[in-house]
Amino acid sequence: MRESKAWRNILRKRQNHCDWGLCGYTMKPLLGFVCTLMLFIVYRTTNYQYLQTELDSKLYRFYTSKESLPDSTNLKGLPRGIIEARSDLELKPLWSTSSSKLEANISAPHNLLAMPVGLKQKRNVNAIVQKFLRENFTIILFHYDGKLDSWQDLEWSNKAIHVVAQNQTKWWFAKRFLHPAAVSIYDYIFLWDEDLGVQHFNPKRYLDIVKTEGLEISQPALDPNSTGIHHRITVRKRTSKFHRRVYDSRGSVKCSDASDGPPCAGFVEGMAPVFSRAAWHCAWHLIQNDLVHGWGMDIKLGYCAQGDRSQKVGIVDSEYVVHQGIQSLGGPSAKKTRNNLDMTKKHTVDTRAEIRRQSTMELKMFKQRWEKAVKEDTNWVDPFLRRRRIRKPRLIASLDS
């Protein structure tokens, strides 16, 4: 009896073992299905997160810089639908009327003219603003002399935005009051000086050329009789509608077919630049917060051209301006007198000389910062330097052939 029980136990164990084996074989397809399902779920989740990140970058493109990352993180406390990342400088009525509702519903291009102004240039500024108002531009004036009340007699004064800060430059104002999120509604931003004659300039015709030619950064050409022409590329060509480069064998800088960078190509000067929305978003970040004169920045604006600066940056000849070269910020230069003792007693300070000295110092600092940034950012590649390296072997190959 004991032997029969022992054999039964052995048979049971073998049966159980076989059952488990059979069960193992039947479990394999199920385990494969579960693994496949889990991999599919992981793939869909990862893909969803990627698409969501892409969507967030498009919806909140102004929160992508290093400085704004903490702010973007803090936005998690708000429901997404309530976030309004864009703004503008349009004046809003305190109460709604039928006329204001009709005006709000009119879909028209939005463009902005921003200028630093002083009371001494009131007449010239008035001529400029009236031309731009006819084309439905928004106007913002930066009053560097603090004299705002004297502008109230102009009929368009209440339609403009006025910002007052004593003895500040155009770039100081632009950095603080033209943030990309605040001007995101505008297709083009004109950041002009106040001493430009506009007798031969029409904003609408100018923008038609800019859009047709795909210019992201541009400026109107300067009349050859203008005062203070510093770069040959900005001078008007009488027989052209626009130009992107200049050929000049005179001076220390030689401009030829091989010249694909500033000041021979891909260059505009700081007196009358015009930016597309995308170009301004980049240029605003290029403006240094403390280097208020902006010297040297025009050489680097081509990096904000959203592509090849030799194609995306240009000068419009058919719509040109006259640069009057009036130095108003800081007052006129101190006049030289024969009696140096009198100057010593009066403690006369040549403010223009001090401004030039400060500008030169800031130019040096800007160059140093650019070089330092390029050296430290190991992931950044100069697109124009790479293009020149690629082009050089081609030239050698053509010479060999």
pLDDT of residue 325: 82
Peptide linkage before 263 cis (omega within 30 of 0): yes
Instruction: Please state the φ and ψ torsions of residue 321, each to the nearest 5 degrees.
Output: -130, 165
pLDDT of residue 352: 80
CATH architecture of structural domain 107-323: Alpha-Beta Complex (3.90)
Summarize pLDDT for 359-381 with one digit per residue, the tens.
Answer: 999 999 999 999 999 999 999 99
- Report angle CA 344, 350, 351 to the nearest 5 degrees: 140
Contacts of 185 (CB under 8 A, 6+ apart): 86, 87, 88, 90, 110
Whole-model pTM: value is: 0.74
Pick from 181, 199, 362, 211: nearest CA to 274? 211
Pick from 196, 34, 60: nearest CA to 127? 196
Summarize pLDDT for 163-195 with one digit per residue, the tens.
Answer: 999 999 999 999 999 999 999 999 999 999 999
Which residue do the tokens 């001076």 mark? 251
**d(Cα 252, Cα 254) in Å, to the nearest integer?**
6
Say how many CA atoms lie within 13 Å of 396 toward its Cβ.
6
pLDDT of residue 350: 78
pLDDT of residue 393: 43
Domain regions of the chain by residue span = 107-323, 330-375
**d(Cα 58, Cα 52) in Å, to the nearest integer?**
10
Query: From first to last of its 401 residues, what are the pLDDT tens digits of the chain?
Result: 555 555 566 556 555 554 545 455 556 677 777 778 777 776 776 665 555 555 444 434 433 444 444 456 788 889 989 988 888 899 988 887 765 555 554 557 799 999 999 999 999 999 999 999 999 999 999 999 999 999 999 999 999 999 999 999 999 999 999 999 999 999 999 999 999 999 999 999 999 999 999 999 999 999 998 887 889 999 999 999 999 999 987 777 888 888 889 999 999 999 999 999 999 999 999 999 999 999 999 999 999 999 999 999 999 999 999 999 887 766 554 444 445 455 445 556 678 889 999 999 999 999 999 999 999 999 999 998 855 554 544 433 333 33
